[in-house]
A and B are shown apart, each in its own frame.
Chain A
Amino acid sequence: MIKIIAGLVLSLLIVTSQAEELMMARTEQSFPEAMSKLQETILDLGYKVSRIQRIDIGLTKSGYETDKYRILFFSTEKEIAEISKKYPHLVPYIPWKIAIFAEQQDTLLVSADPMQFTDKKYPGADKYLLKWKKDTQKIMQILRQSE
């Protein structure tokens, strides 16, 4: 009961406080520390990191100069199974992802607001989008506060 009430209040606060299309955070942690904290936070929220795409490695190998730039994909087995079965409009967007990259001594994180992908035809999918939104906000907040 208490958890439900607290969840309701938190959801209300989150939904009413932010309506930007991109979710972004800056942390004063160095890239390796931020990367490690990001993975740890994702796991704490009950997800699994399915892949880390090393964008910087591909660019460097092709002769372009860049700082560290990675994409983390995360989800759960159950989530992928249900979404791919019932909600085709979300298939190209799963597993959900966060881009993480270095800016000098700081590290930046970017993700989209999942609520941008709601579709009236599939109201059942909103539970996933809302969960991703809340969890992505939590991740950003934890990373912002990490030192």
Chain B
Amino acid sequence: MTLSQKYHLLISLLFLLASPLVQAKPNGEQLYTTHCSACHGANGHGGVGVPLALPDFQYGVTNDYLKKTIRHGRPGRIMPAFRSLKESEVKAIIRHIRSWAPGKPFKYSNKKIKGNIKHGKQLFTKNCVACHGANGKGGEGTGVTFSRPRNLPVIAPALNNSGFLASAPDLMIKTVLMNGRDGTPMVSFLKHGLSEKDIDDVVSYIRSFEKKVVSKKAKETVNPLISYESPYPLKETLASIEKAIIGKNFRIIRQQYLNQGLVEKGKENKKQVVVYFCNFNFLNRALAIDPRVGLFLPCRITAIEKNGKVTVSSTNPLYMSRFFNNAKLDILCEELHQVYVDIVEESTF
């Protein structure tokens, strides 16, 4: 290929990248597969995410609700906010989601419902708390677990979640309360004895959660690493690490060299050692909260000797936890962070 041909190829590729044809027609199915299918299922049948293909869901939510849900996510409830997607990409994803259910979805105006909040609270406590939790905090568990038997198609949504409140208009909430949602445990409260006026009161109470939503805390600076220097030689440090791990009620899985499995047996770097450990009860709890926690697994601490100095380091669960947008997991990660700090501190003290 001549220099001139290479130049033309470069220009063509850059032109292609900037071409409106490439950018104007995003492929909704492809985008859905990349960004959504892992949680919502290839055909929208749900998993950790709600079953988007459910006919009652399809007819009951507007495109605006879907768009806002994609943009805002559900802070602390796994569904992330997809802020980096282009407007045209969000629309393409919605078109793809809509392809599963023929027919038109409901349309709601943004009219505010003015009911009696106090009465709504009483009704909510009596009829809704069992599934949606006190103050609308949502069903226990932040999703249906991936790797365990599933009992319900959905976990009751957190009605006090800022993402939900920003996405759902009053009339949509009212319609769901009146009609229920087939295929989920949500029943029609008209059929369960509430009047339309009662339902308006419940909607107003749910809307009042908006005033209580705590603004999202600014992300504190968290170091991705927990790292200490050990005053002891490597062998002694490793013995102390193991002792500290057992003291924390964790089990040693194995000790291995950092490059083990990558180099010929016997040629490993003996000054770089990883200690893997686990507490299966803790792990079981973590998997029930979020089955994606494999990224933390197994627990590990690495000790490296370099120029006579031994450094003990581990990942920081508090840093990793942010990737999951799962408030329940954050609590467990605080616990795990403390375990790591204690082990590293004890073994280097």
Contacts and interface: CB of A to CB of B under 8 A. Distances in A.
Q: Do A and B bind each other?
A: yes
A81 B271 CA distance: 12
B6 A1 contact: yes
A67 B13 contact: no
Nearest to B37: A26
A100 B147 CA distance: 10
A55 B298 CA distance: 8
Contacts, number: 163
Interface residues of B, number: 63
A120 B14 CA distance: 30
Interface majority SS on B: helix, strand, loop or mixed?
mixed
B311 A88 contact: yes
Interface of B: 1, 6, 9-10, 13-14, 17, 33-35, 37-39, 41-42, 47, 80, 82-84, 146-149, 224-225, 227, 253, 256, 258-263, 269, 272, 276, 278, 280-281, 283-284, 287, 291-292, 294-295, 297-298, 300-302, 304, 306, 311, 313-315, 320, 322-324
26 contacts: A5-B13, A20-B82, A22-B295, A24-B292, A28-B42, A48-B262, A50-B261, A55-B283, A59-B280, A77-B262, A81-B259, A84-B258, A84-B272, A88-B227, A88-B304, A91-B313, A92-B300, A99-B297, A101-B291, A103-B47, A110-B38, A111-B295, A112-B320, A116-B224, A144-B33, A144-B34
Number of chain A interface residues as a range: 35 or more
B323 A101 contact: no
A53 interface: yes
B222 to A, nearest CB: 11
Contact of A66 (B10, B34, B272, B287): B287
- Top 9 closest A-B pairs, CB basis? A99-B294, A50-B261, A24-B38, A21-B323, A62-B280, A19-B84, A67-B147, A80-B259, A103-B146
